[in-house]
């Protein structure tokens, strides 16, 4: 797997909760033509929890069809049960995926030992070609346990970790173990607001929805950091932080769906309805979003 930035695609639904495949193909063409290293299909921003297995397979297949020859593709294979995860992995292997992102089983509580056993089981039963990235997203699933990080790093076909916790202390401890035990292991941040701080700890890059929406800006952070131009990297990072703070004014992932439309990409209809997502609220929010987008792109 290569270092760099990877975009998390949004899944295009219609107003009835069905896939809008025409809009999905257009989004994927846009993503394919950006400078990201690769794309993650069926991630959190892709709202995989709203899809059944067949819909997920449709989205995974569309990603391979449109971008498989141009980008490194990562398939989201998170699910509440091992059987469901393995079903997705087998399908991904069948259509040509080599990388899968998997969080620990969610909904029911899990002990750290449960999480370790889960990854050991999945890694043994996964198709030989599939390489696994663990997914640390502790506000939605059990945390990847630090006390068993060495054991997890010892599993050969687990080759990376996406950390969306936003917890720099946690990330620093992970990187300490990685540097000591397995330097070729890839760790990516999933929080754009932490990208530059995460680079100072040695991460391989960023996997996020903003990465394809603002690929030039995020790549410039990466390049400026490696060129030791921290002033420039910090300037762009602070503008991203301003945008992320503003996005927090609307629930995730609806905020990213609205943002994608601001930048000119139709990502379909939201799947939840909130009292504040009306024209009176959204119009000024979108106006401010547009200002922050322009500021970021002009920085």
Write out pLDDT tens, residues 154-206: 999 999 999 999 999 999 999 999 999 999 999 999 999 999 999 999 999 99
Quick check: 59 and 51 in contact, CB under 8 A?
yes
Distance, in Å, from the CA atom of 94 to the CA atom of 55, rounded to the nearest integer, reads: 16
Residue 188, strand partner residues: 162, 205
pLDDT in tens, 99-156: 999 999 999 999 999 999 999 999 999 999 999 999 999 999 999 999 999 999 999 9
pLDDT in tens, 67-102: 999 999 999 999 999 999 999 999 999 999 999 999
pTM to 2 decimal places = 0.94
Q: Which of 196-200, 246-250, 271-275 has the highest mean pLDDT?
A: 196-200
Quick check: 218 and 192 in contact, CB under 8 A?
yes
Between the alpha carbon of residue 123 and those of residues 134, 194, 228, the distances in Å are: 11, 29, 38
Distance, in Å, from the CA atom of 243 to the CA atom of 266, rounded to the nearest integer, reads: 20
């Amino acid at each position: 797997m290569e270092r760099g930035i990877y975009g998390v695609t949004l899944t295009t639904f219609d107003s009835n909760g069905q896939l809008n495949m025409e809009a999905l193909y257009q989004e994927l063409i846009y993503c394919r033509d950006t400078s990201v290293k690769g794309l993650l299909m069926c991630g959190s921003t892709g709202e995989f929890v709203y899809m059944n297995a067949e819909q997920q397979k449709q989205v995974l297949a569309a990603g391979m069809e449109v971008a498989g020859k141009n980008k490194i593709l990562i398939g989201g294979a998170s699910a509440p049960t091992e059987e469901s995860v393995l079903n997705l992995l087998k399908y991904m292997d069948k259509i040509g995926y080599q990388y899968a992102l998997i969080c620990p089983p969610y909904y029911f509580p899990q002990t750290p030992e449960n999480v370790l056993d889960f990854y050991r089981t999945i890694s043994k039963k996964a198709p030989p070609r599939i390489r696994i990235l663990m997914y640390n997203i502790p506000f939605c699933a059990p945390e990847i346990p630090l006390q068993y990080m060495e054991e997890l790093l010892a599993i050969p076909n687990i080759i990376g970790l996406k950390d969306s916790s936003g917890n720099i202390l946690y990330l620093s401890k992970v990187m300490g173990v990685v540097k000591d035990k397995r330097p070729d292991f890839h760790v990516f941040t999933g929080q754009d607001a932490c990208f530059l701080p995460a680079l100072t700890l040695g991460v391989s890059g960023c996997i996020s929805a903003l990465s394809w929406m603002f690929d030039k800006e995020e790549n410039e952070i990466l390049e400026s950091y490696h060129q030791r131009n921290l002033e420039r990297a910090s300037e762009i990072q602070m503008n991203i932080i301003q945008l992320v703070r503003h996005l927090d004014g609307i629930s995730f992932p609806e905020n990213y769906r609205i943002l994608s439309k601001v930048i000119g990409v139709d990502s379909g209809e939201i799947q939840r309805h909130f009292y504040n997502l009306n024209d009176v609220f959204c119009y000024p929010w979108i106006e401010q979003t547009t200002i922050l987008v322009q500021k970021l792109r002009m920085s």
